[in-house]
Amino acid sequence: MEVKESKRINAEDLYELKSVVDPQVNGIGQECLYVLTSICKETDKYYSNIFHKNLNTLETSQWTFGKDRNHSPRWSPNGEQVVFISNRSGKNQLFLLSKKGGEAKQLTYLVNGVSNPVWSPDGKEIAFQSNFKTGETVADKESKKEDKEDNLTALEVTNMKYKSDGKGFWDGSYDHIAVIDIESGNMEQLTTGDNNYYLQSWSPDGQYIAISADQNKEKDFSFISDIYLYNRKEKNWKRITESNGNYGKVTWTPDSKRIGLIGSDREYENATLSKLWVYDLESDFLQCLTPEWDVNVGDYAIGDFQQGVVTPGMLWGEDNESFTFLASDHGNTVVYFGNISGAIYPSLIDNQHVYGLSTGGSLKKAVVAISTPTHPGDLYTLDLETGEIQQITEVNKEFAESHAFSEAEPLQFASRDGWELHGWLMKPQGFKEGEKYPLVLEIHGGPHAMYANSYFHEFQTLASNGFAVLFINPRGSHGYGQQFVDAVRGDYGGKDYEDIMDAVDYCLETFNFIDSSRLGVTGGSYGGFMTNWIVGHTDRFKAAVTQRSISNWISFYGVSDIGYYFADWQIKADLNDIETLWKHSPLTYVKNIKTPLLILHGEKDYRCPIEQAEQLFIALKIQKKETKFVRFPESNHELSRSGKPALRIERLNYINNWFLEYV
């Protein structure tokens, strides 16, 4: 019998792969909804549909159809209906679908669309979030006919937070919360004014709606998120946090007596680990359950594939005291069990990335979404008591059976100053003992993020083209405790650079198949900064690709949507300390660069604006250095993850071709 050779993975395979996210188990734990996202090659657009899985028979049925974005399915309390969001009318609106079938009914027609649906406990109302400019209310309807003419007008700016990556320039609107009566269609707007309010959850007894907001008047220098309880009957507010941190992911015990929160007091600014908190309504007491636990609560894994991942908060059990949650730990996301007495232990710990979790209210069985370096992602049932899992979807089965994935071998080694470091090495496709192979070093963004045991399409394309791929979590990464993640602040280009170079040295000493004369390096955002830094401090790499990078902290301070505070938090310097900002700027060392450098950047990147790339390109060209500058139109900081598919693919091909040419 002839055995077909597996195909190698290439950039264009993004058109074939499907992303499965957001499992939602119903209240009796017998059924699960999920969202499947694909790419339409003809239109070059993403489309999503909602699927149903019977957890007893494992029968699957599709509940929405077409090439629109249908997502965020949420069961009604009695499990007979589902509310979801769809852009089929033009904007994201609420739609209601009966479990028995039939056409979905559109519930909202708001001018700016809606997000984040939350059912009332009696199933008669749905709360949601929408965006309103001054003068707009829930009475303003979505226009059926778009005005195609651009009415240009001046943008008047008085606040420093006037732009944000992905959203663009602030248009004077605010996020507010409203409730719709399903039977009558009547809507009530709960929040108004010049402030953003974000919907969290509704108490099971129907009395309170939990909302998060920052009500400090000086928004430019405020970075908190408080939790408020809105009393639906008395129509008053109560703040339950102390305006000293960032809190969210609000969940309720079944008896409505306690609230679970995830957040921090921001002791280390944005490098602070998130912790578990419980608020007791009867005693009016907020308590941190994990003050000494040196693990980050939540999913902080970096990836370039999944679309629309939803990370839950603390999911409570029937006893009103126990819960399950996700945490990031040593390159994995782990399902943990905990209770209000402080007990915490893993329910599911393995070399994998758990990027979705739903229980339906019972702590006996859950549905989890899991990815590994060789598995883009699927859903599994998880017995929370035994840890036993069973795969229940195979959304990329045909692709997996016909393509070859490269395994990621875990690495553990010591830095030159004795810190424990962790990473992975992928062998190239077609690996043969005794042969030498080039290596590409990958550096993640953040820096407060985490490479994980998760699928990375970029890595697979590099391995497919004959490269070994090295990726590690240097100082500053999440997953290894508070001291580790905080260590990079004020030391960009210091010990973090040494960690990365120590990883390269470790691989060269340990694996004799790596050709030390054929090394490449790439990374995006912070990884782009570090790529720039590396080629300015060593010429050991034959080629480099810097993506959405930082090259000049002085200009970054004023042009980035986060620059004026991020530089202060991370470099620990401001415009009163130009010397320190310049010392940590890769542009300072551009005269040392000998490595051929490809510069990739999105035109509408407001996080690391394209002027950072422009400066670097001109500084290199004026010195006759080997470089190329590629600008991606209409693309923001998220190009590699959720950008226009054709441009994501073009970007991957630029990276691979640069290394094929120069390494």
- Assign residue 555 a region: left if phi > 0, alpha if psi is -120 to 50, beta otherwise? alpha
- Summarised one tens digit per residue, pLDDT across range 547-592 is 999 999 999 999 999 999 999 999 999 999 999 999 999 999 999 9
Question: What is residue 101's predicted lDDT score, i.e. its pLDDT?
Answer: 87
Neighbouring residues of 501: CB distance < 8 A, sequence distance ≥ 6: 534, 538
Rounded to 5°, the CA angle 73-27-359 comes to: 80
Question: What is residue 4's predicted lDDT score, i.e. its pLDDT?
Answer: 64
- Kindly state the percentage of the chain with pLDDT values over 90: 94
> Is the omega angle on the peptide bond into residue 312 within 30 degrees of 0, that is, cis?
no
Neighbours of 81 (CB within 10 A): 19
- Assign residue 113 a region: left if phi > 0, alpha if psi is -120 to 50, beta otherwise? left
In whole angstroms, what separates CA 46 from the centre of its chain? 17
Check pLDDT > 60 for residue 256: yes
Confidence of residue 3 (pLDDT cuts 50, 70, 90): very low
Q: 437-443 and 514-524 as β-strands: parallel, antiparallel, unpaired?
A: parallel
CA nearest to 480, candidates 498, 496, 456, 460: 496
- Summarised one tens digit per residue, pLDDT across range 156-170 is 999 999 999 999 999
Q: Which helix (H) or strand (E) holds 24?
A: strand 19-25
- Summarised one tens digit per residue, pLDDT across range 302-335 is 999 999 999 999 999 999 999 999 999 999 999 9
* Rounded Cα distance, 183 and 57, in Å: 33
Question: What is residue 420's predicted lDDT score, i.e. its pLDDT?
Answer: 97
- What's the helix, strand, coil split of the chain in %, to 5? 20, 35, 45
Question: What is residue 629's predicted lDDT score, i.e. its pLDDT?
Answer: 98
- Summarised one tens digit per residue, pLDDT across range 617-636 is 999 999 999 999 999 999 99
- Please state, in angstroms and as integers, the Cα–Cα distance from residue 140 to each residue in 106, 129, 185, following that order: 16, 14, 14
Question: What is residue 349's predicted lDDT score, i.e. its pLDDT?
Answer: 87
Question: What is residue 473's predicted lDDT score, i.e. its pLDDT?
Answer: 98
Question: What is residue 144's predicted lDDT score, i.e. its pLDDT?
Answer: 52
CA nearest to 358, candidates 583, 24, 6: 24
Question: What is residue 28's predicted lDDT score, i.e. its pLDDT?
Answer: 87
* Rounded Cα distance, 320 and 24, in Å: 20
* Rounded Cα distance, 547 and 524, in Å: 4
* Active-site option among 525, 549, 585, 640: 525
Nearest-10 Cα torsion for 162, 219, 260, 125? -60
Confidence of residue 252 (pLDDT cuts 50, 70, 90): very high
Check pLDDT > 80 for residue 353: yes
Which residues in 105-127 are b (16+ Cβ under 10 Å) and which e? Answer: eebbbbbbbbbbbbbbeeebbbb
* Rounded Cα distance, 608 and 279, in Å: 38
Confidence of residue 1 (pLDDT cuts 50, 70, 90): very low
637 is catalytic: yes
Residue 417 structure tokens: 């100053």
Strand, coil or helix: what is 317? coil
> What SS3 string covers 492-537?
CCCHHHHHHHHHHHHHHHHCCCEEEEEEEEEEECHHHHHHHHHHCC
In whole angstroms, what separates CA 651 from the centre of its chain? 20
Count helices and strands (H / E) in the chain: 11, 41
CA nearest to 572, candidates 581, 582, 585, 562: 581
- Kindly state the percentage of the chain with pLDDT values over 70: 98
User: Amino acid identity, residue 493?
Assistant: G
- Please state, in angstroms and as integers, the Cα–Cα distance from residue 205 to each residue in 200, 254, 319, following that order: 15, 8, 16
Neighbouring residues of 386: CB distance < 8 A, sequence distance ≥ 6: none
Q: Which residues pair with 25 in a beta bridge?
A: 32
Residue 490 structure tokens: 């004020």
Check pLDDT > 90 for residue 150: no
> What SS3 string covers 179-233?
EEECCCCCEEECCCCCCCEEEEEECCCCCEEEEEECCCCCHHHCCCEEEEEEECC
Nearest-10 Cα torsion for 185, 190, 196, 199? -70
Instruction: Reply yes or no on domain 404-662 having CATH 2.60.120.650.
Output: no
Check pLDDT > 50 for residue 601: yes
Q: Which is more confident, 458 or 145?
A: 458
CA nearest to 303, candidates 99, 81, 454, 513: 454
* Rounded Cα distance, 57 and 62, in Å: 15
CA nearest to 21, candidates 45, 46, 56: 46
Q: Which residues pair with 631 in a beta bridge?
A: 601
* Rounded Cα distance, 98 and 500, in Å: 53
Strand, coil or helix: what is 615? helix
* Rounded Cα distance, 608 and 619, in Å: 18
What is the rounded average pLDDT of the residues 196-214?
98
User: Amino acid identity, residue 597?
Assistant: L
- What are the residue boundaries of the structural domains of the chain, listed by start? 318-403, 404-662
- Summarised one tens digit per residue, pLDDT across range 492-545 is 999 999 999 999 999 999 999 999 999 999 999 999 999 999 999 999 999 999
* Rounded Cα distance, 418 and 421, in Å: 9
Question: What is residue 136's predicted lDDT score, i.e. its pLDDT?
Answer: 86
Neighbouring residues of 490: CB distance < 8 A, sequence distance ≥ 6: 570, 571, 572
* Active-site option among 347, 448, 637, 640: 637
Strand, coil or helix: what is 164? strand
Check pLDDT > 90 for residue 5: no
CA nearest to 425, candidates 549, 508, 525: 508
DSSP state of 462: H
- Summarised one tens digit per residue, pLDDT across range 34-74 is 999 999 999 999 999 999 999 999 999 999 999 999 999 99
Question: What is residue 148's predicted lDDT score, i.e. its pLDDT?
Answer: 47
Strand, coil or helix: what is 438? strand
Strand, coil or helix: what is 650? helix
Q: What pTM did the predictor assign? A: 0.96
Neighbouring residues of 350: CB distance < 8 A, sequence distance ≥ 6: 332
* Rounded Cα distance, 366 and 384, in Å: 7
* Rounded Cα distance, 112 and 138, in Å: 10
- Summarised one tens digit per residue, pLDDT across range 83-113 is 999 999 999 999 999 999 899 999 999 999 9
Check pLDDT > 50 for residue 29: yes
Q: At what angle do helices 526-535 and 495-510 cross, to 10 degrees?
A: 70
Q: At what angle do helices 457-464 and 645-662 cross, to 10 degrees?
A: 40
CA nearest to 656, candidates 453, 438, 474, 503: 438
